[in-house]
Amino acid sequence: MIKLNLIAALLFCVTLASCQTPTTTTTTSTTNSKKIMETSYNKTDEEWKKTLTPEQYEVLRKKGTERPHTSALNDNFDAGTYVCAGCGTELFTSTQKFDGHCGWPSFDNDIGGGDRVKKIKDLSLGMARTEIVCAKCGGHLGHIFDDGPTQTGQRYCVNGLSLNFKKLDKDSTQKK
C-alpha cells in the first residue's frame, strides 16, 4: 500500500511538472524578487497591477503557473475565441482547443501562424522547453510541447488565468 501511494504521488508530481513554469527567475539584483516580464507594450508595473487581478499579474507578468484543474477555461468547449487577459489580443480559437488531460487549457496551434504567440527557449527547472508569450504585450501564457494528439503534434499548454474567452455570438453565425 505504501508503494502504491508513493507511485501515485510520484506520477502526480511528474504530471504537474509537465506544464509548470518557474515562479522565480534570476534577477540582476541581489534580492530574491521575481523579475517582471519586459515588454514594449508601454505599461508600467503599477498599471499592470491596476488592470490585472493579483493572480493574473503573477502568471502574465512574473511567469507564474496556476494550479492544474482550477481554470474554468480548461473544461470550456464553447465556440469562440481565447484572448490575452493582458491586452485582448486574439490568440486561440475554440476549434484549436482540445482536452490535453494536463489540467490546463490546451491548443494545437495559435491564430495567425506565429505572429500572435511568441516562442522563447526556456531552460529553467533543469529541462529544455519552449515558453509561449503574447507577442503584443509579452504576457506569459505557458509552454508548448510536441505531444499533441492532433495533426500539428503540438500542445500549447496555457494558463487559464492568462486568457479571457469571447463566446461566439449565435446571431453572427446565422447572418453569414
Q: Retrieve residue 162's grid coordinates.
A: 492568462
Which residue would you say has higher pLDDT here, 23 or 131?
Answer: 131
Is residue 141 included in any domain, yes or no? yes
The single-letter DSSP state of residue 151 is T
The single-letter DSSP state of residue 150 is S
How many structural domains compose the chain?
1
Residues recognised as catalytic: 157
Q: Using CA atoms, how far apart are residues 37 and 86, in angstroms rounded to an integer? A: 12
Is residue 105 included in any domain, yes or no? yes
Domain that holds residue 66: 2-21+43-168
- The reply to whether the predicted model has a pTM over 0.85 is no
Query: pLDDT tens, 53-108?
Result: 999 999 999 999 999 999 999 999 999 999 999 999 999 999 999 999 999 999 99
Is residue 13 included in any domain, yes or no? yes
Q: Using CA atoms, how far apart are residues 77 and 90, in angstroms rounded to an integer? A: 17
Tell me, what CATH number does 148's domain have?
A: 2.170.150.20
